[in-house]
């Protein structure tokens, strides 16, 4: 019976090895993480998805505050004239901004941009707030919705409106600003590994791929199970570009008026897409324990037997008190049906509890990541559960790490590159630095440059594309 249901569940989800995009869509809709909004390209984040976001917010807020940042909130509407102040910035964003032109029937004097990112409006405020070197550094983060109208959309990965955080900092020196840029990249990397259990490649973007208006964009790239790369977060060194355009000036110790140096950095609800596509399997989601809305589900077996439900309820309370996010599934369904549902929903640990278990003073633990199944004494079970959750996390991270590093191929020419990409791998190669090579690779292989890693130990001497002398180590991949 359980097997039959199991087969059916699998049947309802497209085969991930055949049609990964449909597998993704099937999984996110069936597990009720998300739904399509009525306006093209928008999404509704349903409670099960939003709870993951709340965990992400909590974990990042801890890290942002520990590094001295405070949250604030800036208006969503930006005067159109602000967008055009930084030349590269407007070029990058103007075609995809949503514009408010009317209130009710009345046209506005100046059309308003719904923020695609907040550098411009935040700089206009910083120009008011910063006067003296004593006002520096400014270390502010914002949690907000932003809008970028995209042609091709997919829930979490690319939507017209999404939720994110954006840090915007000002510093007295270039050195300090550059340090901040790398510090926040490192905060993100540590978060990806220790919270989402995803390994990433970090490094600097090419000129072509950098943020519109930045001097340098650093990014982390995660490998999805189809071998595509997902840019999971960025940290920009903005130099004095915006500060100068918005006339942010401070009186330095030496009595001179100067522009401060600036950074911005952000991650978004895209991270939810990342953890689905980095960890899932044919049964559905596999949620990293540290952000899973439900870490443990208790499924009582033979619920009609006296004492089973009561014992299960007591177990739930015990785990709850120990700080575990736990749910007791006492619905009127067979255990097999429930096992399948909770596996699909990616709950990291299942606890089965039947009359015989209770007699033996034990419960049965089943891990979502390895399907490992073992009995554990009810005495001290909260400790066992917590250790198991940590073990699940460690194993999921190890899997992600191994998957990433076993799917990177060093290539010397375009043929090797094509071959590697066809095998759903990332390409590590030398690059001359010429944008025309990036364009050619994009055109011929549908791959883009991802990052140039900090470790620039050469893997050759010629550009993988034009074969001219090359001194840049870089990753190429197909990407989301």
Whole-angstrom Cα distance, residue 275 to residue 268?
A: 12
One of 3, 11, 38, 457 touching a second copy (CB under 8 A): 38
Q: Which is closer to a second copy, CB of 63 or CB of 467?
A: 63
Whether 191 and 270 have beta carbons less than 8 Å apart is answered as: no
Q: How far apart are the first and last CA of the chain?
A: 39
Question: For the chain, what is the radius of gyration of the CA atoms?
Answer: 25
Q: Which is closer to a second copy, CB of 101 or CB of 370?
A: 101
Q: Does 68 bind a second copy (CB under 8 A)?
A: no
Residue 447 CB, nearest approach to a second copy (Å): 28
Residue 227 CB, nearest approach to a second copy (Å): 30
Q: Which is closer to a second copy, CB of 133 or CB of 149?
A: 149
Stretch that binds a second copy, among 96-104, 207-215, 343-351, 417-425 (CB under 8 A): 96-104
Whether 318 and 351 have beta carbons less than 8 Å apart is answered as: no
Q: Which is closer to a second copy, CB of 126 or CB of 191?
A: 126
Site track for a second copy across 106-145, x = CB under 8 A: -----xx-x------x--xx--xx----------x---xx
Q: Which is closer to a second copy, CB of 82 or CB of 218?
A: 82
**Residue with tokens 């191994």, as numbered in its chain:** 402
Whole-angstrom Cα distance, residue 226 to residue 268?
A: 21
Residue 128 CB, nearest approach to a second copy (Å): 7
Residue 78 CB, nearest approach to a second copy (Å): 8
Residues 6+ apart with CB under 8 A from 447: 417, 421, 427, 441, 476, 477, 478, 479
Residue 423 CB, nearest approach to a second copy (Å): 38
One of 11, 102, 253, 304 touching a second copy (CB under 8 A): 102
Whether 100 and 92 have beta carbons less than 8 Å apart is answered as: no
Stretch that binds a second copy, among 43-51, 211-219, 344-352, 428-436 (CB under 8 A): 43-51
Residue 171 CB, nearest approach to a second copy (Å): 17
Q: Which is closer to a second copy, CB of 140 or CB of 308?
A: 140
Q: Could you please report the per-residue DSSP string of 328-378? A: E--SSS-HHHHHHHHHHTT-SEEEEE-HHHHHTTEEEEEETTT--EEEEES
Residues 6+ apart with CB under 8 A from 257: 249, 250, 251
Helix locations, 130-265, DSSP H? 174-194, 241-245
- Name the pairing type of β-strands 296-300 and 349-353: parallel
One of 21, 79, 336, 453 touching a second copy (CB under 8 A): 79
Q: Does 96 bind a second copy (CB under 8 A)?
A: yes
H or E element in which residue 140 lies: strand 138-147
Q: What is the DSSP letter of 157?
A: T
- Which residues lie across from 379 on neighbouring strands? none
Q: What is the DSSP letter of 120?
A: H
Residue 116 CB, nearest approach to a second copy (Å): 11
Q: Does 161 bind a second copy (CB under 8 A)?
A: yes
Q: Which is closer to a second copy, CB of 11 or CB of 102?
A: 102
Whole-angstrom Cα distance, residue 16 to residue 368?
A: 18
Give contact residues for a second copy (rule: CB under 8 A).
Answer: 35, 37-39, 42-47, 49-51, 53-54, 70-79, 82, 94-105, 111-112, 114, 121, 124-125, 128-129, 140, 144-145, 147, 149, 160-161, 163
């Amino acid at each position: 019976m359980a097997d039959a249901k199991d087969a059916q569940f699998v049947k309802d989800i497209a085969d991930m090895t055949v049609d990964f995009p449909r597998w993704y869509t099937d999984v996110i809709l069936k597990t009720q993480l998300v739904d399509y909004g009525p306006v093209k390209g928008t999404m509704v984040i349903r409670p099960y998805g939003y709870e993951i976001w709340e965990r992400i917010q909590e974990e990042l807020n801890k890290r942002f505050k520990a590094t001295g940042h405070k949250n604030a909130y800036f208006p969503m509407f930006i005067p159109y004239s602000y967008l055009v102040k930084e030349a590269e910035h407007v070029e990058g964003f103007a075609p995809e901004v949503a514009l408010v032109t009317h209130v009710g029937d009345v046209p506005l004097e100046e059309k308003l941009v719904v923020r695609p990112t907040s550098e411009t409006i935040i700089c206009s405020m910083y120009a008011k707030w910063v006067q003296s070197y004593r006002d520096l550094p400014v270390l502010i983060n914002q949690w907000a919705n932003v809008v970028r109208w995209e042609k091709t959309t997919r829930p979490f990965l690319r939507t017209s409106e999404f939720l994110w955080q954006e840090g915007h900092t000002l510093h007295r020196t270039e050195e300090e600003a550059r340090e901040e840029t790398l510090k926040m990249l490192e905060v993100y990397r540590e978060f990806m590994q220790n919270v989402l259990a995803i390994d990433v490649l970090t490094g600097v973007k090419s000129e072509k791929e950098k943020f519109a208006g930045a001097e340098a964009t650093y990014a982390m790239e995660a490998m999805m199970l189809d071998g595509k790369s997902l840019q999971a977060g960025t940290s920009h060194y903005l130099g004095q570009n915006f500060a100068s355009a918005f006339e942010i000036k401070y009186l330095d110790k030496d009595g001179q008026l100067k522009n401060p140096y600036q950074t911005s950095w952000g991650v978004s609800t895209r991270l939810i897409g990342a953890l689905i596509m980095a960890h899932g399997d044919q049964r559905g989601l596999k949620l990293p324990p540290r952000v899973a809305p439900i870490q443990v589900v208790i499924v009582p077996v033979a619920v009609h037997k006296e004492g089973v439900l009561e014992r299960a309820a007591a177990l739930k309370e015990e785990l709850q008190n120990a700080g575990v996010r736990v749910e007791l599934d006492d619905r009127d369904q067979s255990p097999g049906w429930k096992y399948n549902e909770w596996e699909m929903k990616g709950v990291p640990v299942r606890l089965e509890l039947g009359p015989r278990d209770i007699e033996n003073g034990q419960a049965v633990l089943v891990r979502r990541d390895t399907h490992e199944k073992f009995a554990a004494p009810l005495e001290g079970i909260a400790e066992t559960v917590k250790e198991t959750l940590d073990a699940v996390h460690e194993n999921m991270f190890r899997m992600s790490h191994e998957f990433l590093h076993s799917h990177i191929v060093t290539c010397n020419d375009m043929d090797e590159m094509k071959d590697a990409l066809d095998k759903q791998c990332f390409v590590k190669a030398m690059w001359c630095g010429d944008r025309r090579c990036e364009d050619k690779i994009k055109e011929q292989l549908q791959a883009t440059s991802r990052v140039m890693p900090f470790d620039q130990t050469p893997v050759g001497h010629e550009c993988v594309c034009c074969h001219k002398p090359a001194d840049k180590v870089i990753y190429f991949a197909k990407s989301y």
